[in-house]
Amino acid sequence: MNKIVFSIFFICLLVLSGLSFSSVSSEETIRSTGTTLYVDDDGTADYTKIQDAINASSDGDTVFVYNGTYNGTILINKEITLEGEDNENTIITGEEDKDVIDINSNNVLLMKFKIISKGIGNTIELSQSAYSIIENNICISDVAGILISESFNNEISNNFFINNSIGFVQSDHNDFSENNLERSSLFLASSNDNIITRNVIDKINKFGDGITTSSGSENNLITYNSIKNCNRAVCILSYGFNTISYNDFFSNKWNAFILNTDCTWHHNYWGRPKILPKIIFHMDIIGYYFGFNQYPVYFDVDWRPALKPNCEDGGVL
């Protein structure tokens, strides 16, 4: 009798576990479960235009793009994988002042492209998307860059950004990691609980900022990044608790630039070994004492700054 009861209980447990797993899987990803459609600009594949293949695809399909140069704008409004043959020779060039790739679906995987925008158009815009992945792309921009708006639980990793402004606007719980930013910067506006980690940011000419938080962005983790040659490496422009830890700052005009004292600073490397705590003053402390402005005197403290760089090879442990 006991064996029968135990068997029934075990079978019920397996059924419930299977139902639970199926529910999570269907919410978070339908990737790579369908057909693969092929694109080649020389006419030897199913399609010569990327958008035509996307239009013909269904959720769960993969659109694979062979090396070549593809002109125009692309809209991804389905839960698909869009994959290039390699990110040096599979090139998508946008139209003047238009976004190159717009993503407004969940569960999209975009990988291995060189994406070039012209004028004020973004290389990629991720809008109202969740559980999407953007990885192993090269993004080159004239002015704009990547915009992530009202999007959640996405991963942007292992990309190379040149002359891009990467913006998170009203976007929470995203992971921005192991990217290389050359003459590029990142900002968060009204965006919470994001992880910014293991990135290399090199402005090269000390013009512009590295990472900026504004408009009440809070609970963001900025950790293990290498930030160099910026005007301001980390710029905190509004109230909101954020953690800035284990980053390396090199050759910046200002390593930290703050307007509030709600952040936690821990074990950052400030361009040279520091034994004593690092005091991070409010940007207007001099002006305050000489009557140039009305700001009170603020300061934060990194109580245990690093004696040596936290990152090797600039951002990767």
261-293: pLDDT as tens digits: 678 999 999 999 999 999 987 765 455 455 555
Token reading at 218: 């809070």
The length of the chain is 317
Residues 206/185, Cβ–Cβ less than 8 Å: no
pLDDT value at residue 6: 41
Rounded to 5 degrees, φ, ψ at 86 are: -160, 155
Average pLDDT over residues 120-138: 96
| pLDDT greater at residue 26 or residue 247 | 247
Query: Across all residues in the chain, what is the average pLDDT?
Result: 86
**pLDDT (mean) for 139-166:** 94
Task: Concatenate the DSSP letters of all residues of 200-222 into one string.
Answer: EEE-SSS-SEEEEEETT--S-EE
Bridge partners (DSSP) of residue 244 are 222, 265
* 216, 238 contact by CB (below 8 A): yes
**What mean pLDDT is predicted for residues 141-169?**
94
Tokens of 32: 């790579």
Residues 32-50 pLDDT 10s: 579 999 999 999 999 999 9
Average pLDDT over residues 143-168: 94
Q: Is the pLDDT at 28 greater than 50, yes or no?
A: no
The pLDDT of 216-228, averaged and rounded, is 95
Of 3 and 79, the one with more pLDDT: 79
Q: 286 vs 107, which has greater pLDDT?
A: 107
How confident is the model over 252-258, as a mean pLDDT? 91
Half-sphere exposure of 132 (CA within 13 A, CB side): 30
Task: Please state whether beta strands 278-281 and 299-302 pair in parallel, antiparallel, or not at all (unpaired).
Answer: antiparallel
pLDDT of residue 296: 55
pTM of the model: 0.85
Q: pLDDT digit string (tens) for 291-316?
A: 555 555 678 899 999 999 999 754 44
pLDDT > 90: percent of the chain: 70
pLDDT of amino acid 292: 54
Cβ burial of 269 (10 Å; 0-12, 13-18, 19+) is: buried
State the pLDDT at residue 294. Answer: 53
Both tokens of 70, joined, read: 């593809």
Q: What is the reported pLDDT for 206?
A: 78
Contact status, residue 78 vs residue 57, Cβ threshold 8 Å: yes
What is the per-residue pLDDT for 295? 55
